[in-house]
């Protein structure tokens, strides 16, 4: 039963490995026609041979005497182009090349023109059209006699056995071409959908579009010729298009550039494009220095354009430092370009974003802008590594509107309506939050966002480090250990930027080593007011009471010189997220994954029930679950908020910073967080653990982008097994998977009251592990015994009997816990007002 699945998993990994290998070799197109039109000899250009126009593997169909070869009598030494422009094929009547197509799909069609005259033909006044059997590529095209050469590149999906390329002379004119290319390209080069910035809706159906390349720029770097690009593309420089060059600067990176398997590759764009960028010039730390960098491009009006922005974070020293906005013609393209999440948490990694923009008739400008984020605490910055602008043509002669396309349209409309709804809700929430935030700011300016902590297991550590720390006493007796600033300076190599292992709204997290070699994680808040410092103390005092082996331990703190620094135990193996995807870390098996889920569930359960006041984590995600050297899970970053406004503030930034896929949908409705919000987020983490993919992946087809939605779609069909991580798919026992999937589904219930408590979740996960470890059907009795045992271990569990049946909690009890939570909050708000 398990072996075919395992086999499939192996096959899949094998396919992945092969793909990986292939992307390292240069691309080798299946269809590859390069023709030196009108010439009787082959020509070598940049290592490629354009063959003589004698129709060996293709055919030219033309009326008798309608075709002539023409050789340029003018000196060509002055031409910037190449030997391809020496000869031309001239057509006095409609004529067609027919190329057999071995690999249906998208192809580049490149046409080279250079108009010259002789006694017989005047190419300088020629006017003609070029079309495929499906689309018109050029309509009444007139090569400009004053411009030396014209080069046109199109990409079109060819779903026939032949490509028929026709040259149709206009009235009293001839048609001609100097050289042409027909090349198959990888299928993932052009995706089917992209966001339309005019409607802010998702556009589907790009596969049916013929695209004409109008700009292809290598930002901040040199021109790239076809020989520098796996698909023989030409990249220009961007400097000439900058609206205000003083606002921009070149940046480049000489290290290795990575690609994301299956998403980017050298065929999307070469490394040399990603290794240079144009960056906002002034990164002055004064937040008032805000401006956009804009490239102004001339385009034909009345058309839509597919705009591809290539990005690669070559400027940041650490992840999560670079956030900015992108605009097309002053319309928001992306309000929050977050390269760390786009690249699945890796620097120097190639990513791209596609947008569609409509250029109205009456305007012939396309303005592409990068601008600073207005999120609090984000340094104004922004980069662009590469830009492609492709003109979309509407369907030409012979195009078929098939039913599939219509269905796609309905899907797009439904998707768009849902998308708008989501945007409106988000906008409303953000608006409310901003208003509340402003109000709060008037009352007091508080910049310190309290976060985490507990004293916990630092006992032994403390004695080891006692020579360099001062044990606090009296009022601060609970605060753990007070480090002197100098000690932490030394431990972190003077807060070396290269030692940053994380960044959050509060400041940065540095890796550090104390004098006795103890590794620590040092969180440094931005020092501000004395007021903040008091709260910092209260916070540590409160949190120091939380001690649990599944919560990351606080070792100490430093409040010298108005600093607000917290020192935690260092978690050797990093985040759970990094073990699931986007890294080369070894695969975790199902039992390990379950143990990690169970450990984190214990930590959260303790937060919710372990002290008199329930504590809501608010930002449960795989990046906040850390693993020690034995892969034991500990929950980190369980920030506490004292006031409503601040709660919202951290929330908004949380949401925007990419934890969006984890956010409780009920939060949108009620704008109130409960423990059940953590349960929802934890459900998303469980799915992430099962499927090993990002919770939001904008590069996937629409219905797959949001993992929670996608996972629930399959679970509702009873077939969640279809989308699980191929590396473990065959190893999960069906019973274990069923239990796990049910648990996920309950956690992701729309309403908080329908979701289980963390205690129930923990119990169900333990059960899933039991089912996985059960030797044979005989041991079922044993596992039931074990389960009874377990249920008594879980603290504060409401009703084990009802859990076993439905995993639901008693509603009245649950409501009670909500009441007690809101009481906690109002109490906190009150004390804040004093
Ligand atoms: C940026 O780089 C391009 C290409 O290397 C170069 O032409 C341009 O002058 C540079 N601009 C600046 C401001 O250095
Ligand atoms: C950048 O451009 C957009 C669109 O024109 C505009 O709304 C925004 O205010 C600009 N940002 C800055 C900092 O100038």
Residue whose Cα lies nearest atom 8 of ligand 1: it is 239
First to last CA, the chain: 66
User: What are the tens digits of pLDDT across the range 243-261?
Assistant: 999 889 999 999 999 998 8
| Mean pLDDT of all residues in 739-762 | 93
Q: Where are the domains of the chain?
A: 4-22+191-400, 32-185, 443-569, 574-773, 784-834
Is 725 a residue of the active site? no
What are the φ and ψ backbone dihedral angles of 234, each rounded to 5 degrees?
Answer: -110, 135
CATH topology for the 4-22+191-400 domain: Jelly Rolls (2.60.120)
Retrieve residue 564's tokens.
């607000």
Dist. CA 218–CA 554, nearest whole Å: 47
Owner of token pair 């005497």: 65
What's 574-773's CATH class?
mainly alpha
Residue nearest to atom 14 of ligand 1 (CA): 250
Give the closest ligand to the alpha carbon of residue 247.
1
Which of 619, 648, 664, 697 is catalytic? The answer is 619
How far apart are alpha carbons 64 and 46 in whole angstroms?
A: 35
433, 648 Cβ separation under 8 angstroms: yes
Closest ligand to C-alpha of residue 223 is 1
- 471's tokens: 């044990």
Q: Is the distance from the beta carbon of residue 371 to the nearest atom of ligand 2 less than 6 Å?
A: yes
Query: Nearest Cα to 747, choosing from 834, 675, 653?
Result: 675
Query: CATH classification of 32-185, choosing from 1.20.1050.40, 2.40.160.40, 2.40.50.100, 2.60.120.430?
Result: 2.60.120.430
Structure confidence at residue 669 (pLDDT) = 66
Give per-residue pLDDT as tens, 291-327: 899 999 999 999 999 999 999 999 998 888 899 999 9
> Looking at the predicted structure, is the pLDDT value of residue 557 above 70?
yes
Determine which residue's CA is closest to atom 3 belonging to ligand 2: 330
Report d(CA 674, CA 683) in Å as an integer.
15
Within 373-458, strands assigned E span 383-384, 386-392
**Overall residue count recorded for the chain in this entry:** 834
Instruction: Find the residues whose C-beta lies inside 6 A of ligand 1.
Output: 220-222, 237, 239, 250
Q: Which residues contact 805 (CB under 8 A, 6 or more apart)?
A: none
pLDDT tens readout for residues 646-671: 333 333 333 332 367 888 877 766 66
Q: What is the CATH code for 443-569?
A: 3.30.200.20
Q: What is the pLDDT of residues 218-242, one digit of tens each?
A: 999 999 999 899 999 999 999 999 9
CA of 222 to the centre of ligand 1 (A): 8
Which atom of ligand 2 lies at the shortest distance from residue 332's CA?
4
Residue 5 buriedness (CB in 10 A; 0-12 / 13-18 / 19+): middle
**Kind plus residue range of the DSSP H or E element containing 601:** helix 590-609
Structure tokens belonging to residue 269: 């764009």
Mean residue pLDDT of the chain comes to 76
Assess whether the C-beta atom of 331 lies below 6 angstroms from ligand 2. Answer: no
Nearest-CA neighbor of 90 among 33, 35, 127, 38? Answer: 38
CA distance linking residue 384 with residue 617, whole number of Å: 36
* Residue 327 CB–ligand 2 contact under 6 Å: yes
What's the pLDDT score for residue 538?
64
Starting at the edge strand that comes first in sequence, how are the strands of the sheet with 323-328 ordered?
Answer: 293-298, 365-372, 323-328, 331-338
By C-alpha distance, which of 16, 10, 82, 86 is closest to 45?
82
In CATH terms, are 32-185 and 574-773 the same topology? no
- CA angle in degrees (0–180, nearest 5) for 98-43-265: 75
Mean pLDDT across 462-467: 32
Q: pLDDT tens digit string along 62-117?
A: 888 888 888 876 655 445 456 888 889 999 999 999 999 999 999 999 999 988 88
């Amino acid at each position: 039963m398990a072996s075919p699945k395992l086999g499939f998993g192996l096959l899949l990994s094998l396919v992945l490995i092969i793909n990986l290998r292939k992307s390292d070799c240069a691309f080798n197109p299946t269809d590859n026609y390069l023709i030196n039109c009108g010439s009787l000899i082959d020509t070598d250009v940049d290592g490629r041979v354009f063959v003589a126009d004698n129709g060996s593997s293709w055919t030219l169909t033309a009326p008798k005497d309608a075709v002539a070869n023409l050789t340029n009598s003018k000196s060509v030494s002055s031409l910037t182009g190449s030997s391809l422009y020496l000869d031309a094929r001239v057509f006095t009547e409609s004529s067609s090349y027919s190329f057999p197509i071995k690999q249906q799909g998208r192809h580049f069609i490149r046409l080279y023109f250079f108009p010259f005259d002789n006694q017989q033909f005047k190419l300088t006044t020629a006017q003609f059209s070029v079309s495929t059997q499906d689309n018109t590529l050029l309509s009444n095209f007139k090569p400009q006699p004053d411009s030396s050469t014209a080069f046109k590149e199109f990409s079109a999906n060819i779903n026939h056995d032949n490509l028929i390329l026709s040259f149709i002379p206009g009235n009293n004119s001839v048609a001609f071409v100097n050289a042409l290319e027909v090349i198959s390209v990888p299928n993932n080069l052009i995706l089917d959908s992209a966001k339309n910035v005019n409607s802010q809706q998702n556009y589907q159906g790009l596969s049916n579009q013929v695209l004409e390349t109008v700009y292809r720029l290598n930002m901040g770097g040199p021109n790239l010729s076809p020989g520098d690009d796996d698909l023989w593309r030409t990249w220009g420089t961007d400097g000439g298009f900058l609206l205000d060059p003083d606002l921009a600067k070149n940046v480049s990176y000489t290290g290795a550039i990575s690609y994301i398997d299956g998403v980017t590759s050298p065929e999307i764009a070469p490394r040399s494009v990603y290794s240079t960028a144009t960056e906002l010039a002034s990164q002055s730390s004064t937040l008032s220095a805000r401006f956009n960098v804009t490239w102004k491009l001339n385009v034909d009006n009345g058309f839509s354009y597919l705009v591809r922005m290539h990005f690669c974070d070559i400027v940041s020293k650490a992840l999560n430092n670079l956030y900015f906005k992108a605009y097309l013609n002053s319309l928001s393209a992306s309000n929050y370009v977050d390269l760390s999440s786009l690249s699945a948490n890796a620097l120097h990694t190639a990513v791209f974003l596609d947008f569609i923009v409509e250029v109205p008739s009456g305007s012939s400008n396309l303005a592409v802008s990068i601008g600073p984020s207005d999120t609090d605490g984000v340094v104004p910055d922004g980069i662009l590594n590469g830009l492609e602008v492709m003109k979309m043509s509407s369907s030409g002669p012979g195009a078929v509107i098939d039913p599939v396309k219509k269905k796609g349209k309905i899907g797009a409309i439904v998707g768009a309506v849902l998308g708008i709804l989501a945007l409106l809700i988000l906008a409303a929430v953000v608006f409310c939050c901003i208003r509340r935030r402003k109000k709060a700011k008037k009352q007091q300016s508080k910049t310190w966002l309290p976060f985490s902590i507990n004293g916990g297991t630092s006992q032994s550590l403390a004695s080891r480090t006692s020579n360099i720390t001062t044990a606090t006493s009296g009022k601060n007796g609970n605060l753990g250990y007070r480090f002197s600033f100098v000690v932490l300076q030394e431990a972190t190599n003077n807060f070396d930027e290269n030692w940053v292992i994380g960044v959050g709204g509060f400041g940065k997290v540095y890796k550090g080593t104390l004098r006795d070699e103890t590794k620590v994680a040092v969180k440094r808040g931005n020092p501000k007011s004395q007021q903040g410092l008091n709260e910092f103390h209260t916070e540590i005092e409160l949190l120091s009471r939380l001690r649990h082996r599944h919560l990351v331990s606080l070792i100490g703190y430093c409040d010298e010189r108005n600093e607000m620094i917290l020192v935690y135990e260092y978690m050797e193996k990093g985040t759970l997220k990094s073990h699931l995807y986007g890294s080369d870390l070894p695969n975790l098996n199902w039992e390990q994954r379950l143990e990690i889920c169970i450990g984190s569930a214990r930590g959260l359960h303790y937060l919710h029930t372990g002290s008199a006041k329930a504590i809501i984590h608010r930002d449960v995600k795989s990046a906040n679950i850390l693993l020690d050297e034995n892969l034991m899970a500990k929950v980190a970053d369980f920030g506490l908020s004292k006031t409503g406004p601040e709660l919202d503030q951290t929330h908004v930034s949380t949401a925007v910073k990419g934890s969006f896929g984890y956010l409780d949908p009920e939060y949108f409705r009620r704008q109130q967080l409960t423990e059940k919000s953590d349960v929802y987020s934890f459900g998303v983490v469980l799915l992430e653990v099962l499927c090993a993919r990002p919770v939001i992946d904008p590069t996937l087809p629409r219905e797959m982008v949001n993992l929670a939605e996608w996972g629930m779609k399959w679970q509702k069909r009873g077939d969640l097994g279809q989308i699980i991580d191929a590396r473990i798919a065959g190893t999960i026992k069906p019973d274990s998977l069923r239990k796990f999937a049910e648990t996920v589904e309950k956690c992701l219930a729309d309403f908080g009251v329908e979701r289980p408590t963390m205690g129930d979740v923990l119990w169900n996960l333990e059960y899933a592990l039991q089912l996985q470890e059960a030797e044979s059907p005989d041991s079922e009795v044993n596992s039931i015994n074990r389960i009874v045992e377990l249920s008594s271990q879980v603290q504060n569990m409401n009703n084990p009997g009802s859990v076993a049946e439905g995993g639901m909690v008693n509603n009245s009890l649950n409501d009670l816990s909500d009441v007690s939570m809101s009481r906690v909050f109002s109490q906190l708000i009150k004390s804040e007002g004093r």
